[in-house]
Amino acid sequence: MTAARAPLSVAGAMDRAVALAANGPAYGPNPRVGCVLLDSAGAVLGEGWHRGAGTAHAEVAAIADARTRGADVRGGTAVVTLEPCAHTGRTGPCVDALTEAGIAAVTYAVADPGDSSSGGAAVLATRGIPAMLTAHAGASALTHRWLTAMRRGRPYVIAKWAATLDGRMAAADGTSVWITGPEARDHAHGIRAEVDAIAVGTGTVLVDDPRLSARPGGEDGPHQPLRVVIGHRDTSGRRVWRDSHAVSVPSHDPRDVLAALWEREVRSLVVEGGPTVLSAFLREGLVDEVHAYIAPVLLGAGPSVVDDLGIGTMADALRGQHVNLQPLGADTLIVAHLSRGI
CA 272 to each of CA 35, 197, 206: distance values in angstroms, whole numbers, following the listed order: 35, 11, 14
> In whole angstroms, what is the distance from residue 195 CA to residue 262 CA?
13
- Tell whether the torsion through CA atoms of 17, 22, 23 and 28 is positive or negative: positive
**Contact at 8 Å (CB) between 36 and 21?**
no
Instruction: Using the CB atoms, write b or e for 218-231: b if 16+ within 10 Å.
Output: eeebebbbbbbbbb
Residue 73 identity (one-letter amino acid): V
Output the CA torsion 8→10→13→15 (10° steps): -120
20: nearest Cα among 52, 70, 58, 60: 58
24: nearest Cα among 47, 60, 48: 48
Active site residue: 47, 59, 83, 194, which one? 59
Q: Strand runs (DSSP E) across the chain, as ranges?
A: 34-38, 44-49, 77-82, 105-110, 131-133, 156-163, 197-201, 226-230, 246-249, 268-271, 289-294, 320-328, 331-338
Q: Strand runs (DSSP E) across 231-330, as ranges?
A: 246-249, 268-271, 289-294, 320-328
Output the CA torsion 7→10→15→16 (10° steps): 40
Residue 44 identity (one-letter amino acid): V
Q: Is 219 a catalytic residue?
A: no
Active site positions, annotated: 59
